[in-house]
Structure 1
Amino acid sequence: MAEKTIMLVCAAGMSTSLLVSKMEKAAAAKGVDAEIFATASSDANNKISEKNPDILMLGPQVRYMLKNFQDSLEIPVEVINMQDYGMMNGEKVLNEALTSIDAAK
């Protein structure tokens, strides 16, 4: 089991898969043991129950779900920076996730 579990949510679960692979490469380069995965917003609640993530990160296209998730979860919930998302900057998104997880402890 990974030390940290990072869940990304987007509209269909597809656009975020490239970002996940870039985040996984950045985690490997830093020596961070993390499970990083993406899911569609329609399946988010099932994945939360199944995987118990340490953080939930929303793609910019589903930022409208932020308050709902923040109100129902006891973990950090963030919206991925639109520029980092658009540039598929896995390292910056990973750093943001790790910072939020550490701050929540």
Structure 2
Amino acid sequence: MKKILLVCAAGMSTSLLVNKMKEHANEIGTEVEIFALPVSECSSVADEVDVVLLGPQVRYQKAQVEKVVKKETPIEVIDMRDYGTMNGKGVLERALKLIAN
């Protein structure tokens, strides 16, 4: 099972996006574990995830996240439009592409 970490500031809006992503995963029959954590806690699971997606509001902390995540783990900032519209489908599909590469 693939694990997707969303990194955020406090987790409120990102939790909504996690739910939308899980809904889409169920629709397409993909087993994934998706969860959100603030930047301050992401190091606790950094070695266990397959991809890390940062909320646009914490994009400035990407370098900090890169220091605690394995080099081979893809890290990307979520597209601002997808984040703003809570496009769970788009964000999940992007995460799956990053994992596949």
Mapped partners of 1:12, 1:41: distance in 2: 9
Mapped partners of 1:60, 1:23: distance in 2: 17
**Identity of paired residues, percent?**
48
- CA shift at 1:47, angstroms? 2.8
Partner of 1:11: 9
Partner of 2:54: 58
The DSSP-based 3-state class of the residue aligned with 2:45 is helix
Deviates more, 1:33-42 or 1:63-72: 63-72
The DSSP-based 3-state class of the residue aligned with 1:62 is helix
Output the TM-score relative to the length of structure 1. Answer: 0.88
Partner of 2:46: 48
The DSSP-based 3-state class of the residue aligned with 1:48 is coil
Segments ≥4 residues shifted beyond 2 Å? 67-74
Q: 1:68 aligns with which of 55, 64, 67?
A: 64
User: Aligned pairs, how many?
Assistant: 99
Partner of 2:31: 33
The DSSP-based 3-state class of the residue aligned with 1:36 is strand
Output the TM-score relative to the length of structure 2. Answer: 0.91
Structure 1, unaligned runs of 5 or more: none
The DSSP-based 3-state class of the residue aligned with 2:35 is strand
What do the CA deviations read for 1:46-77 (whole angstroms, capped 9, x no partner)? 1324xx01000000011012233335422000
Structure 2, unaligned runs of 5 or more: none
